[in-house]
Amino acid sequence: MSSALLDEATRIAREFDYPADRVQRGVEEYIKQSNEGLAQENTTLSQIPTFVTAVPNGTEKGLYLAVDLGGTNFRVCSVQLHGDTTFSLTQSKIMIPRELMASGTSKDLFLFLARQIEAFLRIHHNEHFEAHLRRRRDGNDVEDLFDLGFTFSFPVRQCGINSGTLIRWTKGFNIPDAVGHDVCALLQSAIDELHLPVRVAALVNDTVGTLMARSYTSPGETGTLLGAIFGTGTNGAYVEKLDKVTKLKNMKDAHYDTTTGEMIINAEWGSFDNHMSVLPDTVYDQELDADSNNPGVQMFEKRVSGMFLGEILRRALLAMHNNPELGLFKTSKTSNVSLPSDSLFYRQWGLDTSLLSQVEADTSKDFVDVKAALKDHLKIENPSDAECQAVKILVHAIGKRAARLSAVPIAAILIHTGKLETENMVDVGVDGSLVEFYPKFEEYIREALREVSQVGVAGDKKVRIGISKDGSGVGAALIALVASKDENLRSPNGNAK
């Protein structure tokens, strides 16, 4: 094997080392920034109050609706919670027509959404729907509404469990007349216009959905402390003591239930340490950020999540490719590797993070999976063993750094909430393709957790980590349930039973 290639790969890999003392410093800084975020607005960690004040324990029962307006699709589902940590879910998914995303009015969009809810009810819950219409016709008190959780993946300023104003559209949406308005009220009026038996009970963030879904499905009745996402982006939501959320005092229109003394906080940890006081920073991280459409923000996310790891790897490999002494993936007298000029290797964001998982998973002597991944993703054929080994070295370094960085907010939240001291077991729910598919991602997180002095081997043993699927379905349904139980919140919206 060419030792120059391996030497250089090893040298670059070392730049991605994130040793125990750096993890420790990261944790201390995270705790500091999270306290700032609980006290005031416009801090690096937003620490957004979600107004969800209780987590489920698996005994919840009932039929709830959930809808999810993401970037491309509108998902409608009904969730039957059986009360024994299990559930059944029925769902439909509809593409949102382009013209509704950008050129219409908010009324057009929300009426479209309400019509999809109507179609879903007619197909899957027609009996309930018809009974409701009959009662309405007969002039009987119209009750027995479906409570609905609304997952809305755009920036909103939330002021209660079922209200939040749209700050701005993202992801190709542009309907100016909706900005500044309460998206729950917009959906509710469209639903009312169609006389549907549905009450918009909760506005839901996907991390909170993850936390709630895990808390319901996790074994035993112990509530979950933290829900964390490692997918396209990374973020987390955790259970905080109400009296620590001191900035709530300044929110005049805020209304919420205080009986549990807790509230779920959406950390928005993708922007942890945007000012780069403790985050590791290689030249590849710097170039990625400078060429991104939002330089200087989401700095933690840019080192951790699926949208970025492939691009970090691509830039490191490209540096070796452009180094004439190494000629990685360059044809020569001794190498007949081929890399076509239209390969995604040359395109920004061209390397998908799933390649890292495929490469990391390869345990063969002759690099079977590495070769398949290079060919499938980048049209690179006949790489030498040394080239494959170089790719493996870099992938491992970048993936491991991401996992060790992921341990920082997790450890910080374990320490900050004091749960390791007061509980025998602390449950954490995770979701996202990276944590689900990157080999040993959880193991590397745990290695780093054990290196944090206030966690250690004993603390790590208390942490139970489990995948939490379907946050926007089950999680949203559970938040609708919590909200519907909260009588305080009904009257302001005229929904009191």
Interacting residues toward ligand ADP by CB under 6 A: 231-232, 306-307, 352-354, 356-357, 432-434, 437-438
Which option in ligand ADP, Mg ion, none does residue 306 bind, with CB closer than 5 to 8 A by kind?
Answer: ligand ADP
**Residue among 58 and 471 whose Cβ is closer to Mg ion:** 471
C-alpha 434/C-alpha 304 separation (Å) is 9
Distance CA 15, CA 17 (A): 6
The least distance separating ligand ADP from the CB of residue 351, rounded to whole angstroms, comes to 9
- Please provide the DSSP assignment of 47-64 as one string: -EE--------S--EEEE
Nearer to ligand ADP, 245 or 316 (CB): 316
Of the pair 188, 353, the CB lying nearest ligand ADP is at: 353
Positions marked active-site: 153, 168, 206
Nearer residue to ligand ADP within complex by CB, 306 or 475: 306
Element holding 225 (H helix, E strand) = strand 224-230
Beta strands in 98-138 (DSSP E): none
Q: State the Cα–Cα distance between residues 261 and 153, nearest whole angstrom.
A: 27
Q: Between 5 and 267, name the residue whose CB sits nearer to ligand ADP.
A: 267
Q: Which helix (H) or strand (E) is 3 found in, with range?
A: helix 3-15
Mapped onto helix, strand or coil, the DSSP state of residue 79 is strand
Residue 163 CB coordination number (10 Å): 24
Residue 256: phi and psi, rounded to 5, are: -160, 165
Closest distance of CB 288 from Mg ion, Å: 22
Nearest-CB residue to ligand ADP?
231
Write the burial class of residue 254 (CB in 10 Å: 0-12 exposed, 13-18 middle, 19+ buried): middle
Q: Give the rounded distance of the alpha carbon of 103 from its chain centre.
A: 29
Q: What is the Cα–Cα distance from 33 to 273, expressed in whole angstroms?
A: 8
Token pair for 125: 């819950």
Give me the DSSP letters along 190-220.
HHHHTT-SEEEEEEE-HHHHHHHHHHHHSSS
- Binding at 164: pick from ligand ADP, Mg ion, none (beta carbon under 5-8 Å per type): none
Closest approach, Cβ 402 to Mg ion, in A, equals 17
**Residue 136: count of CB within 10 angstroms of its CB:** 13
User: Between residues 58 and 399, which has the closer beta carbon with respect to ligand ADP?
Assistant: 399
* Beta carbons of 170 and 221 less than 8 angstroms apart: no
Interface ranges with Mg ion (CB under 5 A): 231
Instruction: Give which of Mg ion, ligand ADP, none residue 488 binds (C-beta under 5 to 8 Å, depending on kind).
Output: none
